[in-house]
A and B are shown apart, each in its own frame.
Chain A
Amino acid sequence: MSSIEKLVFEFEMQKLQKQTRRHFLMDCVGKIGGLAMAPLLFSCDPGSNPAKSMGLNLSNRDLNPLSPLAPPFASKAKSIIYLHMAGSPSQLELFDYKPELVKNHNQPCPESLLAGRKFAFIRGVPNLLGPQANFAQHGESGAWVSDFLPHFAKVADEVSFLKAVHTDQFNHGPAQLLMQTGSARLGRPSLGSWVTYGLGTENQNLPGFVVLTSGGKTPDAGKSVWGSGFLPSVYQGVQCRSKGDPVLYLEDPSGMSRDLKKNVIEAINSVNQEEFNTYGDPEILARINQYEMAYRMQIEVPEVMNISDEPAHIHELYGTEPGVESFANNCLLARKLVEKGVRFVQLYDWGWDTHGTDHDGSIDMGLRNKCGEIDRPMSALLLDLKQRGLLEETLVVWGGEFGRTPMQENREGKTMGFLGRDHHVDAFTMWMAGGGIKRGASHGTTDDFGFQGIEDQVSVHDIHATILHLMGFDHEKFTYDFQGRPFRLTDVEGELIRKILA
């Protein structure tokens, strides 16, 4: 199709989606009369199926949008587990050790660092805040990890640290959107949607993109962080509850047999199929597919989402407790899901926004407690994936949406009761592990205060480019046509971070 034809086609599709009951009623006025004529004229109307008249060749992919596809390039990973610490943990208490910051604790921040900069809450000249954790080097790689993460320190050799990541958004919502969709504005597909769009999923009885949340809240940016944007909606993340039934209404109501349900779904789908034959709107196919998947999920989901059958030593490893909502349970579920062929598992853990406004939001106490919640589970996840050989083909990504300032937060210019750090965009730490990632590497350096990257800085787009590369895509060629131009996850940016590739 030429680009003009594509644009016209997209317009037709949009028009179809805007058909409402009002349009229907309006159409009735003019067309009921015409209806009588319809059989006479039917043969004169070859264009009644837009899908056909637009020259759209529906492939197996259109009829079954989650069917697996081979990647365009050799891939190193087939699944991704993305651990997003919503609210953003402090890199200065976990991985980025700055002895100079210890020496300059409580000294006013040099003006040169502050010139021309804006912070979310810091006003005037704040004081520097030395690290509140004790650091040591661990493993053969000599990775710096603080005593806030004692278990993780033991598995630090498995990961590659990115120590000079930068972003350009200092508020949670836009920064989370940027980190997950490549744009701070709404409307773009999330990383997980791109990956499931490009590769489909292996297990046809489970969704391709599963989202699990913990910490009591979902991310500030809302569900758009796992939305499908302009991609067909079948590629959006499926949020599973980590407490109670993972997916609501999964069980058959009493008195409703599975066969009866099957008949119902078949009937609905055949009506929908008629509808599709008339209007050719691919969203109808997505609908049909979702009914079918829901039917298949009824069998597989309760089994895969049930962690109580796991042996005791696995529960000990993760520190899991069936029946509660926790990051630990979600980590174990993530392993089970990738083991069962789910393409993308996204975890969000809320509660990392340590401004120092209260006890829970303090760097020395609240952050420490949060670390205690994730330390064992995320370390266990790496070990468990490793011992099953899943780490060979699963990419694990860890990070927040930005970092935290080397200065103590002084909200509205006042000294605060607890130690806290403000949002910081110039430098923060993330790590990746598993499929295609070098073990025990550290990439990027920050200045003496950890304020800014001075070497090997990487942007959010660079991280996306690297993730797509490991999944077998060239991020510059992996596009989707929308509103007359091809869109990329990395838009016009992104450079592969070669130095952390195995």
Chain B
Amino acid sequence: MLDFILPLLGRLHPLLVHLPIGILIFGILLIFMQKKNSTGFNPVIRLAFLLGAISATLAGISGFFQYQFEGFAWESVQNHLIAGVISSIGSFYLFTRIKDETIFTSNIKLQVLALFLVLTVTGHLGGNISRGEEYLIEVLPAEIQAIAGYEAAPEKSLEIPEQGWEELVFYGEVVQPILNKNCKSCHNPRNLKGEFNLTTFEELLKGGENGEVLKAGNPELSALFAKMILPLEDEDHMPPKEKRQPSKEEIELIKSWIAAGASQNTTLGQAGVDEKLLEPFFHKEEIPFYPLTEVAAVPADTLSKLRSAGFFSETVLQGSSWLKVSCINFPGFTDSDWILLKSVKDQIAYLDLSATQVTEEILDSISSLPNLTVLKLNQTGISGRNLEALSNCKNLKMLYLNSTQLSLENLSGINQHPNLQKVFAFQTPAGESKNPVKFSFELETGNYSLPKIPADTIVY
């Protein structure tokens, strides 16, 4: 009948621990505040150490019950427990050392300080157990966290290769990472909520305080899955409402793993998993559009100088060094204005000189831009006579030459360019040419039309 007494006492631990800390620190303070050679505070100091020692012992006992009944692992509490016992013995010892007539020598003061230290350590370790080691660091600004050598390392999201996923072990390489990301923080050997540890396959099979969590072949009867699909408001929903929730795709994979038999060594292929379920996790190799090389960022005053000269100039994204420069409000730009751009030649990645006064010679200047990726020369007088100069712009991917005098022969000047993907030559002699030529890049000459059909004019 009275089974609840001990667990209740255990749960009072967080309350009781504050008593010895407060009382002992009060006693310690009095020792240091006492005037030299005076003993006036001694009766109070003795009382403080007696009460402190008793409450420390009570806190220790309740702590032990909490450890027993709340599923804490020995490794995580051992230091806290040892330090607690030392503080409680230490305060009893000091209580016996201090008499009403004791004069506090530096020897005793040293011992008192040692007790203070042990007390602090005990409290700190206790806090780490109940609040987590990151409790205080979490709220610090990221820069300070970095200085403290602490870097948030959240569990990585699951990534599955698009090719050869059939060979992945369903449990070890798919399910466990999902559990690690979403559940591990509360169900690990150090933090055994519901007496459940899911960091290894064996522990997972064992289940928690309510028994097994897996019923091979039947996800609905497996608590591991069933609790995740309960309504968020449900008390039994896992992870708890206030924690980050797994995505529905992740839950779906756990379901299909249980449905396929919840075995340790089956591969995704053997389990016959539908590729559609895996699609959200496929790792996409994103090749960045702009060059990977690093150059110094453009200073702010250079940027504003460019702007006041009439250019549109902005980095391609915040914090990037790559610059987009356009003459959209600078139609008077001529070859001789190139000098304005020289200071940022390494940074220009996107250059739009459409509808400006540039001539053929501008291509030589442009060829000095090592990182140019997009070049627009629409509506200019360029025929592309020395288009091969652009071979120097190794990173060039897109070239716009719409409404120019570009001819097919001149275009061959940049055939076999290593990175060039697309050239736009709408409304040019090259576009009108009747003899299509195969280039290393895609040539878009447009001239699309939508033939007239009866539906254009019928009114119903």
Query: Interface of A with B (CB < 8 Å)?
Result: 60, 68-75, 147, 150-151, 154, 202-205, 313, 316-317, 319, 340-341, 364-366, 368-369, 372, 375-376, 379-380, 383-384, 386-389, 392, 472, 498-499
Contacts and interface: CB of A to CB of B under 8 A. Distances in A.
A38 B187 CA distance: 71
A369 B460 contact: yes
B444 A376 contact: no
Contacts of A151: 450, 453
Nearest to B401: A389
A49 B48 CA distance: 59
Contact of B448 (A72, A150, A387): A387
B329 A389 contact: no
B341 interface: no
Contacts of B459: 369, 372
B444 A150 contact: no
17 contacts: A70-B314, A70-B318, A74-B317, A154-B450, A202-B326, A203-B312, A203-B328, A317-B450, A366-B460, A376-B450, A384-B448, A387-B448, A388-B378, A389-B398, A389-B422, A389-B444, A498-B280
Which 3 A-B pairs give the minimum distances between C-beta atoms? Answer: A387-B446, A389-B424, A383-B448
A151 B449 CA distance: 10
Interface residues of B, number: 35
A178 to B, nearest CB: 24
A72 B328 contact: no
Contact of B317 (A366, A472, A499): A472
Nearest to A319: B456
A233 B3 CA distance: 68
Contact of B453 (A150, A317, A368, A498): A150
Contacts of A376: 450, 456
A372 B450 CA distance: 14
Nearest to A75: B317
Contacts of B398: 389, 392
Nearest to B447: A387
Interface in B249-303: 279-280, 288-289
B316 A386 contact: no
Contacts of B289: 74
A201 B422 CA distance: 26
B440 to A, nearest CB: 18
A104 B279 CA distance: 36
A388 B446 contact: yes
Nearest to A76: B289
A372 B458 contact: yes
Given A70-B320, A71-B317, A389-B424, A202 B312 contact: yes
B456 A372 contact: yes
A60 B288 CA distance: 30
Interface in B430-460: 444-450, 453, 455-456, 458-460
Nearest to A501: B284
A304 to B, nearest CB: 11
B196 interface: no
Nearest to B300: A60
B313 to A, nearest CB: 9
A67 to B, nearest CB: 8
B444 A317 contact: no
Given A317-B450, A387-B446, A472-B317, A341 B460 contact: no
A389 B400 contact: yes
Contacts of B317: 70-75, 472
Q: Majority SS of interface residues in chain B?
A: loop
Given A70-B316, A364-B460, A498-B280, A386 B448 contact: yes
Contacts of A392: 398, 422
Contacts of A386: 444, 446, 448
B368 interface: no
Given A150-B453, A386-B444, A71 B329 contact: no
Nearest to A364: B460
Contacts of B450: 151, 154, 317, 376, 379-380, 383
B171 interface: no
B426 interface: yes
A387 B426 contact: yes
B448 A317 contact: yes
A150 B456 CA distance: 9
A59 to B, nearest CB: 11
B449 A313 contact: yes
B402 interface: yes
B420 to A, nearest CB: 13
Contacts of B316: 70, 74
Given A316-B449, A387-B447, A74 B288 contact: yes
B39 interface: no
A359 B396 CA distance: 55
B357 interface: no
A72 B318 contact: yes
Contact of A68 (B312, B320, B445): B312
A149 to B, nearest CB: 9
B297 to A, nearest CB: 11
Contact of B312 (A154, A316, A341, A383): A341
Most chain B CB within 10 A, of A205, A389, A499, is at A389
B444 A69 contact: no
Nearest to A362: B460
A474 to B, nearest CB: 12
A303 B41 CA distance: 93
A69 B426 contact: no
B453 A388 contact: no
A71 to B, nearest CB: 5
B315 interface: yes
Given A74-B316, A388-B424, A204 B288 contact: no
Nearest to A311: B427
A152 to B, nearest CB: 10
A368 B288 CA distance: 44
Contacts of B288: 74
Contacts of B445: 387
Given A68-B312, A70-B316, A380-B450, A389 B328 contact: no
B327 to A, nearest CB: 11
B86 to A, nearest CB: 44
A302 B349 CA distance: 32
A150 B451 CA distance: 11
B448 A388 contact: no
Contact of A368 (B326, B449, B460): B460
B460 A70 contact: no
A372 B329 contact: no
Contacts of A366: 460
A69 B318 CA distance: 8
Contacts of A70: 314-318, 320
Given A74-B288, A317-B450, A387-B448, A150 B460 contact: no
Contacts of A204: 312, 329
A154 B453 CA distance: 13
A30 B144 CA distance: 53
A316 B447 CA distance: 12
Given A69-B314, A388-B424, 7 more contacts: A71-B318, A75-B317, A150-B453, A388-B446, A389-B398, A389-B400, A499-B279
Nearest to A341: B328
Nearest to A455: B276
B395 to A, nearest CB: 16
Contacts of B444: 386-387, 389
A461 B1 CA distance: 56
